[in-house]
């Protein structure tokens, strides 16, 4: 099953140096999540050939313009392009009101239903789940209500190991075994899951943390994820800027990654003051070697292990 | 004195074929107007090297997203870039509320004052004037309240013709003559404006009409302008589409241009269904030969005559 993250934007508030504002596509099998939606996201989706209509869920972390100003245009375009299937929208209090007022003054209605769920900012909450994944929001510390998101696999199938099984299985039986269930065949043969399966592969997970100041309270939420996206608006040389802006440095992001024992860290949300981003990587890898920089158009696959 | 129009976007609702959403820069000497501000306008301003900080006025025709969704991001960026001088914002009822609610939920304040003036949709109204120009709004007929804008020169100076004048003039006297005033020198010599000046050059004017259905009532407002921008979302083959959408065809725009006896017509706001725009020009020039197509990045200078 595919699990990938495609980066659409890596800049902080002001677009610069060819970097777009925050937006990412997370694809887990057939579920496509758009996380944050800075201005111009619809044009960037087009550039990277993401079919708007296949987006099932949009998750907005907070209501600073660089994280949501592309949303209304995208919703409108989806409608103009004939979308009829409902869209799940998750975001902070206020987002629904902003959309409603824009629809009102434009005397518009969308051709499809937007199912809006307000994110909780006090504690972790499951906001979506289906047969194979679960999405949670969790609080970040920023100048306004802001949440991170955790997308993780659930119900990973047991690996079938029936080469030596002296009976053939029906599809139904085969699927029961994949779930780790034991059962008895009509001839009385006991198919014990422990004997004919191997444990499931590890459930993969991705955590998105933007925007936030350094905050160790998020560690339990993101513990051991395969890929952590953590904002690093600044490098340590400008650490003083993190106080009023409530952002993080690359070193802080790396420290969180290390303490949370994640597999890989991806940095993003770079301030416009940095044209060259090498220093982010240098600073982060000193503490957490497995660091990459988010880059427009890059697709990071999270492989099964 | 320079008078130019720079095209930033020519597409209708959906961006396509490399065309951006509606936005134009009108520059008259040192006054810079941004008319409409579709999503992504700030990036396009940057592309065409327009200094955000020099924009004195923003005029929004109506509250369909393709005409204003870039506004909040641009206002925010102006603030982040350190703007302190006030900005005049003109637009329909509702625009102020949309901005206010976005500032509220972003817990933001701009570093400069936005002086908002609500445009009138019932009749023509002067919305701004200074020593050398005047800007009016006038009603268009669209699905929501919508106005066009007319920018025209005023108080054009008389042309000085003092080669044979037997006395020299002070700067103050010279400027009085430019205004067409007569006066008497200290030696009793009468400087009569009729004798020592030629009539001023014709005042130049630009009219912006987007979005609108065919409407002859606008003719008095745009009569004899040097340059008329009139939307032409469709060609005549799709004239049926103009009814529900309340847009115009190229032929209709040309008919308005002809009846208003304008000097030049510029077509824009092209539907995404047309990749090639040749047909717009063919259709329009049959009725009104002096037609051009708006094109991203084009700067049209309106010369004195």
Q: Model confidence over A146-189: pLDDT tens digits?
A: 999 999 999 888 988 888 888 889 999 999 999 999 999 999 99
What pLDDT is attached to residue B164? 85
**Cα angle B47-B49-B55, degrees, rounded to a multiple of 5:** 115
- CB atoms under 10 Å from CB of B192, counted, come to 12
With CA atoms as reference, report the closest residue to A300 among A10, A5, A45. Answer: A5
Nearest residue on chain B to A66, alpha-carbon basis: B73
Nearest residue on chain B to A18, alpha-carbon basis: B43
Q: What is the dihedral of CA A129, A134, A139, A142, to 10 degrees?
A: -100
Percentage of chain A lying above the pLDDT 90 cut: 89
What pLDDT is attached to residue B165? 86
Tokens of A80: 């103009």
Average of pLDDT values for A69-97? Answer: 97
Q: Is B201 helix (H, G, I), strand (E, B) or coil?
A: coil
Whether residues A77 and B43 touch (CB distance < 8 A) is answered with no
Cα of B125 to nearest chain A Cα, Å: 22
Cα of B251 to nearest chain A Cα, Å: 25
Whether residues A97 and B101 touch (CB distance < 8 A) is answered with yes
Split at pLDDT 50, 70, 90, the class of A137 is very high
Which of A15, A18, A23, A106 to probe by mutation at the B interface, max B CB count within 10 Å?
A106
Cα of A285 to nearest chain B Cα, Å: 31
Tokens of A27: 């694809």
Residues of A with CB under 8 A from a CB of B: 13-15, 39-40, 42-43, 46, 63-66, 69-70, 72-73, 76-77, 80-81, 92-95, 97-98, 101-102, 104-108, 143-144
Residues on chain A touching B94 (C-beta within 8 angstroms): 101, 104-105
For residue B133, what are the CA distances in angstroms to A179, B69, B129?
76, 28, 6
- Mapping DSSP onto H, E and C, the string for A53-92 reads HHCCEEECCCCCHHHHCCHHHHHHHHHHCCCCCCEEEEEC
Which of A36, A40, A77, A81 to probe by mutation at the B interface, max B CB count within 10 Å?
A40
Tokens of B34: 């941004």
Cα of A221 to nearest chain B Cα, Å: 25
* Whether the Cβ atoms of residue A218 and residue A212 lie closer than 8 Å to each other: yes
Percentage of chain A lying above the pLDDT 70 cut: 100
What pLDDT is attached to residue A171? 92
* Whether the Cβ atoms of residue A24 and residue A69 lie closer than 8 Å to each other: no
CB-facing half-sphere around the CA of B37: CA atoms within 13 A: 24
With CA atoms as reference, report the closest residue to A60 among A147, A120, A142. Answer: A147
Beta bridge partners of A27: A4, A32
Checking if the pLDDT of B267 tops 90, the result is yes
Cα of A40 to nearest chain B Cα, Å: 5
Checking if the pLDDT of A119 tops 90, the result is yes
Whether residues B70 and A107 touch (CB distance < 8 A) is answered with no
With CA atoms as reference, report the closest residue to B65 among B94, B90, B32. Answer: B94
Tokens of A51: 């079919």
Nearest residue on chain A to B97, alpha-carbon basis: A101
Residue B52 carries which DSSP code?
G
Residues of B with CB under 8 A from a CB of A: 13-15, 39-40, 42-43, 46, 63-66, 69-70, 72-73, 76-77, 80-81, 92-95, 97-98, 101-102, 104-108, 143-144
Q: Active-site residue B66, yes or no?
A: yes
Tokens of B41: 């306008």
- C-alpha distance across the termini of chain B, in Å: 12
Of the candidates A66, A145, A211, A226, the residue annotated as catalytic is A66
Condensed to tens digits (0 to 9), the pLDDT of residues B131-185 reads 999 999 999 999 999 999 999 999 888 988 888 888 889 999 999 999 999 999 9
- Distance from C-alpha of B67 to C-alpha of B58, rounded to nearest angstrom: 12
What pLDDT is attached to residue A38? 97
Nearest residue on chain A to B273, alpha-carbon basis: A81
Tokens of B50: 């327009």
Average of pLDDT values for B247-267? Answer: 98
Checking if the pLDDT of A281 tops 90, the result is yes
Q: What is the dihedral of CA B233, B236, B241, B246, to 10 degrees?
A: 60
Checking if the pLDDT of A14 tops 90, the result is no
Residues on chain A touching B95 (C-beta within 8 angstroms): 105
Residue B94 carries which DSSP code?
T
Of B70, B98, B107, the CB nearest to A39: B70
Residues on chain A touching B143 (C-beta within 8 angstroms): 107
Checking if the pLDDT of B28 tops 90, the result is yes
Of the candidates B66, B145, B211, B226, the residue annotated as catalytic is B66
Nearest residue on chain B to A70, alpha-carbon basis: B39
Condensed to tens digits (0 to 9), the pLDDT of residues B203-251 reads 999 999 989 999 999 999 999 999 999 999 999 999 999 999 999 999 9
Residues on chain B touching A15 (C-beta within 8 angstroms): 42-43, 46
Beta bridge partners of B24: B7, B35
What pLDDT is attached to residue A183? 95
The pTM of the full predicted model, rounded to 2 decimals, is 0.91
Checking if the pLDDT of B1 tops 90, the result is no
């Amino acid at each position: 099953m595919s699990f990938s993250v495609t980066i659409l934007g890596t800049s902080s508030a002001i677009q610069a140096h060819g970097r777009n504002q925050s937006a990412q596509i997370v694809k887990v099998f057939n579920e496509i999540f758009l996380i944050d939606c800075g201005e111009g996201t619809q044009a960037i989706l087009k550039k990277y050939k993401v079919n708007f209509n296949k987006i099932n869920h949009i998750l907005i972390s907070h209501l600073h313009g660089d994280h949501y100003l592309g949303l209304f245009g995208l919703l409108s375009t989806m409608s103009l392009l004939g979308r009829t299937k409902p869209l799940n929208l998750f975001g902070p209090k206020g987002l629904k009101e902003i959309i409603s007022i824009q629809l009102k003054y434009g005397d518009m209605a969308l051709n499809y239903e937007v199912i809006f769920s307000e994110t909780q900012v006090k504690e972790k909450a499951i906001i979506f789940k289906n047969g194979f994944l679960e999405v949670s929001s969790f609080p970040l510390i920023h100048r306004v209500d802001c949440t991170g998101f955790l997308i993780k696999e659930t119900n990973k199938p047991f690996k079938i190991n029936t080469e030596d099984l002296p009976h053939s299985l029906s599809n139904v039986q085969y699927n029961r075994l994949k779930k780790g269930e034991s059962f008895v065949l009509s001839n009385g043969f006991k198919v014990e899951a422990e004997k004919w399966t191997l444990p499931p592969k590890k459930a993969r997970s991705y955590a998105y943390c933007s925007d936030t100041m350094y905050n160790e309270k998020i560690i339990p939420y993101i513990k051991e994820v395969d890929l952590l996206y953590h904002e690093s608006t600044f490098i340590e040389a400008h650490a003083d800027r993190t106080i009023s802006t409530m952002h993080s440095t690359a070193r802080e992001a790396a420290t969180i990654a290390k303490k949370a024992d994640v597999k890989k860290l991806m940095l993003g949300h770079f301030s416009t003051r940095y044209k060259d981003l090498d220093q982010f990587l240098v600073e982060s890898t000193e503490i957490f070697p497995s660091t990459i920089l988010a880059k427009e158009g890059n697709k990071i696959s999270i492989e099964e292990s």
